[in-house]
Amino acid sequence: MRRMIAISLSCILALVAVSFVLLYRYREKADRLLMMTEELTTSQQTIHETESPEGMTKPGKRPVAESEPDSESESQAPQTEDPALHAEDGIYTFLQGPVAWESKAPWSGIWCESELDGGLFSVFGCGLCDLAGVYSSLTPYECSPLDMYALARKVSDYAPGDGAGAIDWPYMVETLERTGIFATLKNKDRSYKAFQKAIADCPGAIVLISSEDDDTYWQDTPGHYVNIWHYHPETDQVFLGDSGNPKHNRQWIPLRYIYDALAADSAWQYLLIHSYDEEKNTWKYSGIHEKWTRPAYYRAKPESRSLLMPVPETE
């Protein structure tokens, strides 16, 4: 009997000892697991901080480079978060409508509500906005659409009449000639491929579009001058300057939209811009002194006296 009791006690003590050993090993394993969890959490926090929204690429926004540049050329390149800052920032695309000016849309100005020779500039000013854009984009100078209106009236027979007449093609060529810009008038090419080549060989063009010929992109637009720039053969797109529609203005669109919508009932369909010659620029006017909404990326060129508003208006 005593022997059985002794055996039982021995078993109990053995079980207790084993339990202590297992408990110690379990505690040791739990401590290791806790340490691994803490290390993993710290690592995830570090990764999260590195890839926070401030450093991640978002739709429509470029990431800001925080590391040191790899080369001298990279150190000289401007760093910006503004996706609008591209090569086309040097292209001037003035707006003409009063609604754009009321909302203070970029590129709109006091000319949007100006009355000239008995007519509203917003009705007939699309071609003049385009001419001012061409002159300001391709030369060391700049002007407003009102300045271009004054020049066209002075050097050509252009007159809006009752205010409903946009500037005609020959007057455009004549006016640009006085500014040192060589341009030629063209009819719609028989093939799209020929039109592509003509646009690709020039820095830009002024085109006359009509929704009566194609309303894919323009609706209720029987006739309207627009600028196109920077043809990209890889995407077959052009940079659009549309004075009549702020939503269209400064958008990249398929060149095919332009070709299909060229106004067939016009004597000419587009004006090709070929080159600029400083020596042939007899105007060399520079300065936009009228009240207007400057885009954030705009950088003024050398200023001079305004033709139509000798007393500058300030914002």
pLDDT at 60 over 50: no
The pLDDT assigned to 45 comes to: 42
**Cα 166 to Cα 180: distance, rounded to the nearest angstrom:** 22
**Confidence category of residue 164, pLDDT binned at 50, 70, 90:** low
- Tokens of residue 125, six digits: 């000013």
Instruction: Name the DSSP letter for residue 110.
Output: G
pLDDT (average), residues 14-32 = 48
Residue 52 has pLDDT above 50, yes or no: no
Contact 234, 220 (CB under 8 A): no
Strands 179-186 and 204-209: unpaired
Task: Please determine, for residue 88, whether its predicted confidence score (pLDDT) is greater than 60.
Answer: yes
Tens digit of pLDDT for each residue in 264-300?
999 999 999 999 999 999 999 999 989 999 999 888 8
How far is 9 from 160, CA to CA, in rounded Å?
Answer: 119
Q: H or E element: which one contains 185?
A: strand 179-186
Q: What is the DSSP track for 18-29?
A: HHHHHHHHHHHH
Confidence of residue 162 (pLDDT cuts 50, 70, 90): low
Q: What is the pLDDT of residue 27?
A: 53
Give per-residue pLDDT as tens, 103-134: 999 999 999 999 988 889 999 999 999 999 99
Q: What is the pLDDT of residue 47?
A: 37
Judge contact between 228 and 208, C-beta under 8 A. Answer: no
Q: Assess whether pLDDT exceeds 50 at residue 155.
A: yes
Domains of the chain, first to last: 87-281 (3.90.70.30)
User: Does residue 305 carry a pLDDT above 60?
Assistant: no
User: Residue holding tokens 């820095």?
Assistant: 203
Residues of the chain with pLDDT > 90: what percent? 62
Place of tokens 């009240």: 291
Among 99, 125, 122, which residue's Cα sits nearest to residue 225?
125
Is pLDDT of 142 > 90? yes
pLDDT for 65: 34
Secondary structure (3-state) at 200? helix
Q: Which residue has the higher pLDDT, 66 or 186?
A: 186
Residue among 295, 308, 306, 211 nearest 260 (CA): 211
User: How much is the mean pLDDT over the chain?
Assistant: 78
Which tens digits make up the pLDDT trace of 200-237? Answer: 999 999 999 999 999 999 999 999 999 999 999 999 99
- Provide the pLDDT for residue 302: 73
At 239 the three-state DSSP class reads: strand
- Bridge partners (DSSP) listed for residue 185: 271
Distance CA 53, CA 195 (A): 45
Percent of the chain past pLDDT 70, that is, above it, reads 67
Q: What are the helix (H) ranges across the chain?
A: 2-50, 72-76, 98-102, 121-124, 126-138, 145-155, 169-178, 192-200, 255-261
- The residue that leads in pLDDT, 57 or 20, is 20
